[in-house]
Amino acid sequence: MGIRVSILGHFSKLGIDTLAQEYPYSKVSIDIGKPSWTLVASFSIGTKAKYPYSKVNIDIELFSISTIELNWVKNPIGSSMAIVLDDRIYGYRLASALGTSVANWVQKLQDSSEPLFVLFGSSIVQFSFGNEGWGAILAHTYARKADVVLRGYAGWNSRRALEVLTKVFPQDGVVQPSLVIVYFGGNDSIEPHPSGLGPHVPLPEYVDNMKKIAMHLQGLSEKTRIIFLSTPPVNEEQLHETIGITGRTNEGSRVYSEACVKLCKEVCIKCVDLWTAIQQRHDWMTTCFTDGIHFSSEGSKLVAKKILKAMEEADWEPSLCSTSLPIEFGDDSVYDLVSRDGETINVSNLKSNHNPK
C-alpha cells in the first residue's frame, strides 16, 4: 500500500510559463511506494490521448511522510528537471524537500539513515510480527538502531519470489538494505500435485532460484549483508489436523534445508539451519509450532536467538550486532527522567526482559 498526495493547479502558479500556455491545468501526484521505500513523483501533463508518453517518474528516497507534506506539497518549487512531451523538451522546476539539490538531499539521506533490515520470504516471514514472532523480536532488539521491514508473502515459493525480486529490491534504490533475511523452501518442498498445480518447485530449480536471489541481493551494495533461513522441520500429524495440507513432510523439509545450507556455503553467505536447530530441542514437536508449520512464540524465540547469534559471529564491517549500533537520538538531555538524587537518567539504553533467552 502507498500514500498519494495530489495537487491540482495552474502551471503558471508554479512558474512554468511555457507549459502554462499550452497546458494550463495539470495534476501532480506523489506516491510513496512502501515496498521499496521510494517516492515516485508522477507529472501527468496534457491529454493522454494526444500525448500518451507525457509522464515522467522521479525516484527519490524519503525521510518521513511529514517531510513530504511539508516540503513537497507546501513548497512546490525547487530543483531543475526536464521532461519530454511530443518530442519537445520543456524545463520546469521540481520541489526539493530540503531546499537544496536533489543530489544533496539524497546524499544527506544516505548519511543519516539508520540501517535497514528487510525480512523477505513466505508465511514464516509474513507471520513473524505476530504471536511474539521472531520478526517482532528482531524489531524490538534493534529499536532505535535499525528499521526492520517486513516483506512476507504467505504461500509463496522461490519462483514467485524471483518474479518480484527487482521490485522489492530495486538495484537503483537510493538507500539499500544493510541486511536481508531470506526464507523460501517450505512451499517449494511440498510434493508435486498430479494436476500440476501447487507450489512445488523441483530441487535443482529451487537451488538455482535461491542462487539468483542471493546474487541479486549481493549486487545491491557493498554493505548489504544476507542471511538465508533453511527450511524448518514440520510436525506432520499436527499439520494434517490443523490445516489439512498434504504432501508437506519432514523428510522433504530436510532435503530442501540441506540444499539451502550447501548453497550458502558455495556463495559465501550466512545461513541459519532451522531444520537442525529446532530439532535440537527435545519437545520441539509440541512447543515450536501453532499448526505444525508456523512458529509459536517458543519457536520464534529459538529462531530469533539463532539469527542474532549469526549476526554476532559474522565478521561484517561494519558490524550489525545490536550492541555495535548507535541509538538514534541517544544523547543526554535536560528532559530525561530525574532520579531521587536529582540527576537525570538517560533511559535510551534501558534493557528489556523481552529478548530471547
Active-site residues, by number, are 122, 291, 294
CB atoms within 10 A of CB 225: 22
Q: Which helix (H) or strand (E) holds 125?
A: helix 123-126
Do residues 105 and 112 lie in contact, with contact meaning Cβ atoms separated by under 8 Å? no
DSSP assignment of 318-339: S---GGGSPPTT----TTSEE-
Residue 34's alpha-carbon distances to 37, 65, 216, 245, in angstroms, are 5, 11, 20, 33
Between CA 88 and CA 82 the distance in angstroms is 10
CA distances from 279 to 9, 104, 202, 262, 346 (A): 63, 51, 25, 19, 42
Q: In whole angstroms, give the CA distance from residue 232 to residue 3.
A: 36
Beta bridge partners, 337, equal 345
Please report the sign of the dihedral spanned by the C-alpha atoms of residue 56, residue 60, residue 65, residue 70: negative
d(CA 95, CA 99): 8
Contact between residue 159 and residue 209 where contact means Cβ atoms under 8 Å apart: yes
Q: Could you tell me if 175 and 223 are in contact, meaning their C-beta atoms sit under 8 angstroms apart?
A: no
The set of residues, in sequence order, having a beta carbon less than 8 Å from that of 61 and lying 6+ positions away, is: 37, 38, 39, 106, 109, 173, 174, 175
**Distance in angstroms (rounded) separating the CA atoms of residues 122 and 210:** 13
